[in-house]
Amino acid sequence: MQKKLRDLLTQTLEQCFRDQSLQKTVLPDYVVEIPKNPDHGHFATNLALVLAPSQKKKPREIAQIIIDHLQGTEDFLAKIEMAGPGFINFRLNDQEWHQLLTSIVTQKDAYGSSQLGAGEKIMIEFVSANPTGPLHLGQGRGAALGDTLCRILAFMGYDVFREYYINDAGQQVRLLGESIYARYKQISDPTRAFPENGYQGEYILELAKAIGAQTDLSALSPEQAVVYCSEQGMERMLQEIKQDLAEFRVHYDNWFTESSLVRNGLLEETLQMIRAKGGLYEKEGALWINTAAFGDDKDRVLRKSDGQYTYFATDIAYHIDKWRRGFTRVI
């Protein structure tokens, strides 16, 4: 209704400019709003007031000119009146409300949607919390914001693809396994040392008990046990994350793993591509990318001296993968 009324006012102003009832000027910002007092009509506008400086006329005089030029409104407006210093109040015909209600009932959930996006593919990657622990409230906020954005863009005609990026490689996964295994050993030996930077939550002990009940970890070497605890712990945490998000009515089209970038060779291909452009160099046993040349405050490490890749390295490969999958816009 507000858009229809605004369009009508724009057409009316153009007519006023053409017959020189008003001086042609750039249309200023104005509002069409619902009055606080229902006695003032269904909608009101301050158009005449914001036009006054450019027209050298009193707002009420401008308001009257606009009212006199409003045409073809019989089926739309039941009453038009001037109020106060130059506001224009509008009361719509009952028929307009009946038609609006009919449209809402007929279109149901599609009412208000549009094809603004014209089917453009857009990926929204959100939450993407490491599967090394349960979701916290901050990540729940990200889920709410991301899901809301997905729903709005889909409603506006975009082809929305929802993705969760799983950080299932790197030191944090190893540390998860070490933490679980240490808690498992502490069940029988409370003096057992715990990793200095290990995960401290109570869920680690719960994981240790569950995994220990499933498999005899004492039959494995310490290294085998840590790897097994990493895999099982990450899998269990990921399932919990998926369940929490599903109960929150947040759903994904794809769960993309960081490790797949290594397995399919895209990470190495990405490094080779950057190296061919002269963007990589070795220093202190680590592999660096020259981001300072592109406005960054410093260069960034892609592969640490211990051979571990940084998030920065896999993130570059991940974004290349997004573009290769045909997404013209990503969030």
Query: For 103-148, how does the pLDDT look when each residue is reduced to its tens digit (9 = 90+)?
Result: 999 999 999 999 999 999 999 999 999 999 999 999 999 999 999 9
In a domain, 166, yes or no: no
The 8-class DSSP code of residue 63 comes to H
- Residues 13 and 91 grouped into a single domain: yes
Is 138 within a domain? no
| Domain termination site, one of 37, 64, 96 | 96
| Model pTM score | 0.79
Domain co-membership, 208 together with 293: no
Q: For residues 124 and 204, what is the distance between their CA atoms, to the nearest angstrom?
A: 31
> 180 in a domain, yes or no?
yes
Question: Per-residue pLDDT tens for 250-294?
Answer: 999 999 999 999 999 999 999 999 999 999 999 999 999 999 999
Which residues, 6 or more positions from 313, have their beta carbon under 8 angstroms from its beta carbon? 267, 270, 271, 302, 303
Asked, for residue 325, whether it belongs to a domain, the answer is yes
Residues 81 and 19 in one domain: yes
DSSP string, 288-305: EE-GGGGT-SS-EEEE-T
Give the number of domains in the chain.
3
Q: List, in sequence order, the alpha helices (H) in the chain.
A: 2-18, 47-55, 59-69, 94-107, 137-155, 171-188, 202-214, 222-247, 258-263, 266-276, 311-324
Rounded Cα–Cα distance for residues 274 and 271 (Å)? 5
Query: Which of 47, 69, 96 is the last residue in one of the domains?
Result: 96
3-state secondary structure of 202: helix
Domain match, 47 and 91 both? yes
71 pLDDT higher than 80: no
Q: Which domain holds residue 210?
A: 171-242
Choose the final residue of a domain: 96, 123, 144. Answer: 96
Cβ–Cβ < 8 Å for 147, 249: yes
Helix (H, G, I), strand (E, B) or coil at 11: helix
